[in-house]
Amino acid sequence: MTDDLVRKWELSRRRVLAAAGGLGLAGLSGNAFGQPGGPWSGPPKSKVDRVNFVVWTYGDIYSRIAKQFEADWGVKVDSTISAFNDHPTKLATMFAAGEKIDVSQSSPFSFPNFVAQGLAEPIDGLPGAADYIKDFTPFTKQVATIGGKTMGLPYFSSVWVWNYYADMLEKLKIDKPFATYDEFIEHCVKAKKDGVSRYPVLWVAGVGLEQLPGTWYQMTWNRGGTFFDKQGNHMLGAGSVARETLKWWANTFEKGLDIADPESLKVQFTTSAKAFGAGKNLYRGPNHHYGLNVVNDPAQSPIAGKVKVHGSPGDGKTMGVTHVYFLSSANRDKEWAWKLLQYLGGKTKDGNYTQAISLAKDAMLGSGYNSVMNSDAVKQGWAPWGDVPAILGIWDKAAYIGEVCSSVYQPWHFPWTDQLNIEVQKCLTGQLTADQCCDNLIKGIADAKRKV
């Protein structure tokens, strides 16, 4: 018995020594035991009394992450939060007025412009940045890398999907949603004719960067077209896929088949999901997958649980985006700004992707990090609102929006989009033909280039 004890003690002692040695090595390497040992866990050498970020609103995510930062580092976080559409204006005026901005964010559409105007600083070489870059998804790499430099960390990613109201489809005695665009029209015409829905389709076509333009981009891409080729030449000429798609799309409005809800031209991505929740339309889309988070939320939608996700016709090709957080060049202290940027777009002191995981669980947003996209945060977090395998299946068929419309990498994309919103809305309301609209947009490319 004593021998047994000794043997155990000796074994145990060896184990303790081995474990201690292992711990020592782990400490040296900095990551074997985890995340607390990484560069995100140490305080910057400099001292500041506050830091700030300028962002667009999304629930209470920013008040929560600001509180966590304050608790972890004892530094106050000031936040300036605007509506999504007002954010570029707010950021621009603060920057122009010489105010301090440590961290801000951008959609992929305005980001090249912000970078060109000197609002953002590269993050390459900052402590831990290389680890983040290794974990970037392909979408993130495309949006965050400008001129060979990494200019930001991901906020969230999403892909364009369709939604349908299952009860209405059942009422129409249609066993499954459309598989072709012709079928889509058939279903909508039938819904209107049978008096089941006056306006069977709600397009997400309000003025913006990714509503109206995004809908056109996605349907063009799904049909095998793009807006610019690899050399940057436009693909909007006579007979182009983009032009034909626009003709088809415009025909769904009042002066054509009259199956499109007139509210389509006013709604943004969230408001369209809320409007769809009224249960008056059969189809909605194509737009961000996370609209399901609104339309299948019982607190926001009378038809919660009855809205299903659906892929695009044909081979199911779709597109996606990643929005970014960036280190502002108007920061008060680069080390602290980097620390704050990581809280928004990277890891918190405990080494977790706290914000990205919360966004997946609370808001159904996808992540710009492979490790988060492959985690249970997505698989379990999204489940209350939609068919996760179906959405991830659509995700696999998504290309980054830059492949569809490569002008998003150019500073002139933003002013061109302003014109695109006007011309396409005029086309959809019957003031212009699709041919006139595309011809105007072709002319507008040169004008937009002159504006920057």
Partner 1 sequence: MEASRAARRPWYRREMSARRFALFLNLPTLLFLGVVLAYPVVYAGYLSVHRVGLAQLRRGEFPFNGWDNYARVLEDPLFWVAIKNTLIFTAITVGAEVVLAIAIALLINQTGVWTSRVTRFLILLPYAIPPICNGLIWSFLYSFQFGFLNRILFSVGLIDQPINWAGNPDTALYAVTVPYIWRTLPFAIILVHAALQGIPRDLYEQAAIDGANAWHRFRHITWPMLQQIIAIILILRTAFAFAVFEEILAITQGGPGDATWVAAWYSYKITFSPPNNFGMGSASAFILTLMIAAIALVYMRTVYRRVTL
| Whole-angstrom distance, CA of residue 87 vs CA of residue 194 | 44
Complex with partner 1: residue 35 or 271, whichever CB lies closer? 271
Contact between 421 and partner 1 by CB under 8 A: the answer reads: yes
Nearer to partner 1, 357 or 448 (CB): 448
Based on the shown chain and the rule CB under 8 A, indicate whether residue 374 belongs to the binding site for partner 1: no
Note whether 425 binds partner 1 by CB under 8 A.
yes
| Cα(199)–Cα(388) distance, integer angstroms | 28
By the rule CB under 8 A, 323 interacts with partner 1: no
CA 259 – CA 201 distance, rounded (Å): 6
Among 114, 165, 178, 385, binds partner 1 (CB under 8 A): 114
One-letter amino acid for residue 63 of the chain: S
Single out the residue of 104, 105, 110, 355 in contact with partner 1 (rule: CB under 8 A). Answer: 110
Q: Does 200 bind partner 1 (CB under 8 A)?
A: no
Of the pair 275, 394, the CB lying nearest partner 1 is at 275
CB nearer to partner 1: pick between 126 and 260: 260
Rounded to the nearest 10°, the torsion over CA 387, 203, 286, 407 is -150
* Phi and psi at residue 303, to the nearest 5°: -110, 25
State in angstroms the smallest separation of the CB of 449 from partner 1.
Answer: 10
Q: Tell me whether residue 119 or residue 292 sits nearer to partner 1 (CB atom).
A: 119
Determine the interface stretch with partner 1 among 149-157, 181-189, 213-221, 426-434 (rule: CB under 8 A). Answer: 426-434
Residues 28, 34, 39, 41, Cα dihedral to 10°: -120
Residue 93 as a binder of partner 1 (CB under 8 A): the answer is: yes
User: Is residue 389 a contact residue for partner 1 (CB under 8 A)?
Assistant: no
318-328 and 153-165: which strand pairing? Answer: antiparallel
Considering beta carbons, is residue 41 or 251 the nearer one to partner 1? 251
Instruction: Say how far apart CA 20 and CA 15 lie, in whole Å.
Output: 8
- 439 near partner 1, judged by CB under 8 A: no
* Binding flag, residue 278, partner 1 (CB under 8 A): yes
Q: Does 451 bind partner 1 (CB under 8 A)?
A: yes
Task: Return the number of the residue (76 or 255) whose C-beta is nearest partner 1.
Answer: 255
Contact 33, 23 (CB under 8 A): yes
Give CA–CA dist 22/27, Å, rounded. Answer: 9
Using CB under 8 A, pick the residue from 181, 426, 433, 439 that binds partner 1: 426
Chain-centre distance of CA 427, in angstroms?
Answer: 27
Judged by CB under 8 A, the residue of 119, 292, 359, 405 near partner 1 is 119
C-alpha separations of 299 from 152, 227, 293, 443 in Å: 34, 39, 11, 47
Please tell me the total number of residues recorded for the chain in this structure: 452
The answer to whether residue 422 forms part of the interface with partner 1 (CB under 8 A) is yes
Q: Does 83 bind partner 1 (CB under 8 A)?
A: no
Provide the CB-side half-sphere exposure for 49 (13 A, CA): 0
Q: Which two tokens stand for residue 326?
A: 């960036």
Residue span binding partner 1 (CB under 8 A) among the ranges 151-159, 176-184, 331-339, 409-417: 409-417
Contact 321, 107 (CB under 8 A): yes
Residue 223 neighbours by CB distance under 10 Å: 17
Q: How many whole angstroms separate alpha carbon 215 and alpha carbon 306?
A: 23
Cβ closer to partner 1: 19 or 83? 83
| Residue 280 interacts with partner 1 (CB under 8 A): yes or no | yes
In the complex with partner 1, which residue's Cβ is closer, 132 or 416? 416
**Sign of the CA dihedral running 84, 284, 219, 254:** negative
Give min distance, CB of 282 to partner 1, in A: 15
- How big is the site for partner 1, counted in residues (CB under 8 A)? 45
Interface residue with partner 1 among 82, 352, 429, 433 (CB under 8 A) is: 429
- Please confirm whether the linkage preceding 384 is cis (ω < 30° from 0): no
- Residue 351 or 415 with smaller CB distance to partner 1: 415
DSSP state of 318: E
Which of 26, 92, 196, 390 binds partner 1 (CB under 8 A)? It is: 92
β-pairing verdict for 145-146 and 149-150: antiparallel
252 versus 355: smaller Cβ distance to partner 1 = 252
Interaction residues for partner 1, span 234-263 (CB under 8 A): 261-263
Kindly tell me the burial class for residue 398, based on how many C-beta atoms sit within 10 Å of its own C-beta (0-12, 13-18, 19 or more).
buried
Q: Say how far apart CA 236 and CA 439 lie, in whole Å.
A: 8
Q: Is 207 in the site for partner 1 (CB under 8 A)?
A: yes
Residues of this chain that interact with partner 1 (CB under 8 A) are: 85, 88-89, 92-93, 95-98, 110, 113-114, 116-119, 207, 261-263, 265-266, 275, 278, 280, 330, 411-412, 414-415, 418-419, 421-423, 425-426, 428-429, 431-432, 447, 450-452
